[in-house]
Amino acid sequence: MTRLLSLLLLASTVSVFGHGPGRTNDFQGRRVLFIGIDGCRADAVSEAMERGLAPQLKALVESEGGLFTRTCYAGGDLKTPTHQPTVSGPGWSSLLTGVWVDRHRVKDNRFLGARFQTYSHFMRRIKEVKPSAWCASFADWPPIHENIADGSRVQGAEFLDVKFTTRPDASRHFIDNPEKDIEVRDEALKTLRTQDPDAMFVYFGSVDEFGHGAIDERASFTPENALYLNAISHVDSHVGELLRAMKARPKFAEEDWLVLVCTDHGGRGNSHGGDSDAERKIWLIAQGKHLNKEDLTTKPVPQTALVPMMYAHLGIVAKPEWTPPPAPESPAPVPQTEATKK
Ligand SMILES: [Zn+2]
């Protein structure tokens, strides 16, 4: 083979596999799988793992590079402008942008005044740095996409290569949420098997609806409730399938995945939104080769720490203009309506 021909072949390989399998992506094989479990209390996930109801999460924690921390917290810092209610709108905004309410301005599930153009979804930032990166998001709580992702688009330009949204039936008290979680799981599995994602976000909503007593009125947010633990157990099996599909990737041995599993808030009784430990103290399960286990398990881990962890894994240096200081403004908080609760 001539040197010219091999150079041409090399060039075409690079362009075809810009977001290819193994090490041929934009990040030398490093990739991110971020799994979100809505409304999952820390003591309940702990109890589920201890009682053999969450064997997949337990195995992830116990695998090489794995950890489980309960030093993670939602709701911002009390008595500061970052203090935010422990509900899904602010919670997922913080988990997906890496900033609190003083910056993203999401005070409830209506997203009024959200500032995602300035404080954007982390996948928009990944694409800004590496336009050929490949990012996918799957969720059965539509505001994840309709507000947080779409609100982050630059002049309406889509940055997600897959954006799968499915909607549980509010008129039926979200009774179909477990089935919607299965749809989310199956679409995410398809992507892991047939595409070469650099970053994936996979969101499951049913645990929160069990906590609310929406799907079954006997259920509530507590580790003593068998129905709530059972809901966690179901999502645990979905997590297991995602991890199996990840490990079954043909060039998995060359790939370097960071897996994060987290929640937006806890709960008490059948609700959440307040400042109790049951609502604010959350958890993080992480697995990867480059994690600082000591820091993550002994120091407080704000919900806003996940985006920087993902950037660090991918080798992305966050630009100062991604998180400018918050502008002074503090309109009165508006009560959320029943229909938008999560
Ligand atoms: Zn909820």
**pLDDT tens figures, 87-134:** 999 999 999 999 999 999 999 999 999 999 999 999 999 999 999 999
pLDDT of amino acid 12: 44
Cβ neighbourhood burial of 84 (10 Å; 0-12, 13-18, 19+): buried
Alpha helix stretches (DSSP H) within the chain: 3-16, 42-50, 55-62, 88-97, 101-104, 122-129, 143, 177-194, 206-211, 226-247, 277-280, 293-298, 306-314
CATH number of residue 55's parent domain: 3.40.720.10
Ligand 1 centre from 335 Cα, in Å?
15
- Identify whether 326 is part of a domain: no
Q: How far is the CA of 196 from the centre of ligand 1 (A)?
A: 33
Q: Answer yes or no: is 334 within a domain.
A: no
Residue 159 phi, psi dihedral angles, 5° rounding:
-110, -10
Distance 256 CA to ligand 1 centre (A): 33
Cα–Cα dist 18/26, whole Å: 6
Cα–Cα distance measured from residue 296 to residue 242, given in angstroms and rounded to the nearest whole number: 24
Virtual CA dihedral for 111, 301, 98, 67, nearest 10 degrees? -110
Could you report the per-residue pLDDT of 159-177, keeping only the tens digit for each? 999 999 999 999 999 999 9
- Structural domain that includes position 279: 31-305
Residue 181 lies in a domain: yes
Three-class SS of 168-214: CCHHHCCCCHHHHHHHHHHHHHHHHHHCCCCEEEEEECHHHHHHCCC
* pTM of the complete model: 0.93
pLDDT tens column, 222-231 = 999 999 999 9
Number of domains in the chain: 1
Where residue 71 falls among pLDDT bands split at 50, 70, 90? very high
The full length of the chain comes to 342
Dist. CA 89 → ligand 1 center (Å):
10
- The Cα angle at residue 69 between residues 64 and 71, in degrees rounded to 5: 155
The pairing of strands 281-287 and 199-204 is unpaired
Query: Is the per-residue pLDDT at 5 higher than 90?
Result: no
Mean pLDDT to the nearest integer, 146-171: 97
Residue 327: what pLDDT? 80
Alpha carbon of 64 to ligand 1 centroid (Å) = 33
Measure 212 CA to ligand 1 centroid, in angstroms: 6
In a domain, 329, yes or no: no
Asked if residue 153 is part of any domain, the answer here is: yes
Measured CA to CA, the distance from residue 214 to residue 342 in angstroms comes to 11
Q: Is residue 333 part of a domain?
A: no
Structure-token match 């991604």, residue found: 322
pLDDT of residue 11: 46
How far, in Å, from the CA of 205 to the mean position of ligand 1? Answer: 9
Give the Å distance between the CA of 262 and the centre of ligand 1. 15
CA of 93 to the centre of ligand 1 (A): 15
pLDDT at 6: 54
Distance (Å) from CA 87 to ligand 1 centroid? 6
Residues 237 and 53: their CA atoms lie apart, in Å, by 9
Residue 232, in any domain of the structure: yes
Distance from residue 342's CA to the centre of ligand 1 (Å): 3
CA–centroid distance, 179 to ligand 1, in Å, is 18
Q: Is residue 87 part of a domain?
A: yes
> What pLDDT, on a 0 to 100 scale, did the predictor assign at position 332?
54
Q: How many CA atoms lie within 13 A of 47 on its CB side?
A: 17
pLDDT value for 299: 97
